[in-house]
Amino acid sequence: MMGFFSVEQSAVLVVAALFGMYQFAKGGCSGRCCQGTDFTCVTTDWRMDLVYGTCYCDERCLKTKDCCFDYPTECPAQPCVVSEWSHWSGCAHHCQPSFRVRRRSVERPPQNSGQACPRLEEQAGCMEYQYLNYVFRWNSNMDCFGLNPGAAFITTMEYSKGRTHDLYRAPTDVGFCIEFKMESLTPQCMVENRPYTRWMQYLREGYSVCVACQPPAMNNHSWSCQGDGNLAERDELLHWQAVGSPRCRGTWRKVQRLQHCSCPQVHSFIFI
């Protein structure tokens, strides 16, 4: 039959035949884009490697290199779309090394071998625990609050009523005063705003504070108060906690013992 056509005519017929087959195969993946590995998502058409035969329209075909020629245009890759991060959660555990969590959700899963979803959960150390761990050097002998047994409990001097008499109205020793240098305190002290805790906002690292040791906090036998550093070694880091807010606490170092407190009122406290 080829004898009836010239070489030029034969070439035109071949090109026309190939073009016709291309036109027939143009819709190879039209309407048949499948997720994952799907052996039923198959047809007979031109493949992306220019081989005519069995070709696929599932996501796996990009890895096996047997996609139909029109897979990229008929089944365009769509990356995963996720929501914004949630707020950080609170610490999972308050009495041990812990972490906080934030999460996000998938709003649209990836399709057609699109970019996979990023991490949907992140964890971070609890800065509160890390801070307290540094300040208090927690150990197995400390309680949940991380306080040593010798921690001082303090409140504002404003609540001192000059307790110079015992229950029988007999005169008692007026006590003494200890000057400390504030070394550290927890952030919770700065946010206390209840009427009886506002005095905690005036606590500052590096400031000198005066703490009065008065009856009944004063031990008349040892002439000391709980946490006054009477038996502390030189330059020893001591612990304190604010009465009325267990989360407001910190450390200080003893400077000197005074007969009377001489610090400003906002930096003057009493042992409880």
pLDDT (tens digit, 9 = 90+) per residue, 237-246?
888 888 888 8
Q: Position of tokens 């002290």? A: 189
Distance between alpha carbon 131 and the CA centroid of its chain, in Å?
Answer: 14
Residues 39 and 85 reside in one and the same domain? no
The whole-angstrom separation of Cα 144 and Cα 83 is 37
Nearest to 229 by CA among 208, 248, 247, 213: 213
**In the chain, % of residues over pLDDT 90:** 16
Is 22 a domain residue?
no
Is 2 a domain residue?
no
Residues 87 and 102 reside in one and the same domain? yes
Residues 156 and 265 reside in one and the same domain? yes
- Residue 112 pLDDT greater than 70, yes or no: yes
Burial 160-196 (b: 16+ CB within 10 A, else e): eeeeeeeeeeeeeeebbbbbbebebbbebbeebeeee
Q: Which residue has the higher pLDDT, 12 or 183?
A: 183
Task: State how beta strands 268-271 and 208-213 pair.
Answer: parallel
- Residue 15 pLDDT greater than 50, yes or no: no
Residues 258 and 194 reside in one and the same domain? yes
- Residue 164 pLDDT greater than 60, yes or no: no
Residue 134's pLDDT band, with cuts at 50, 70 and 90, is: very low
Is 167 a domain residue?
no
The residue range of the domain holding 248 is 152-162+173-271
Q: What pLDDT digit, counting tens, does each position of 65-98 carry?
A: 899 999 998 898 889 999 998 887 766 454 555 6
151 and 138 in contact (C-beta within 8 Å)?
A: no
Residues 88 and 69 reside in one and the same domain? no
Q: What pLDDT digit, counting tens, does each position of 202-237 carry?
A: 898 999 999 998 877 776 666 778 778 777 776 788
Task: State how beta strands 52-56 and 121-125 pair.
Answer: unpaired
Residues 266 and 156 reside in one and the same domain? yes
Burial 1-13 (b: 16+ CB within 10 A, else e): eeeeeeeeeeeee
Number of domains in the chain: 3
Q: At 58, which helix (H) or strand (E)?
A: none
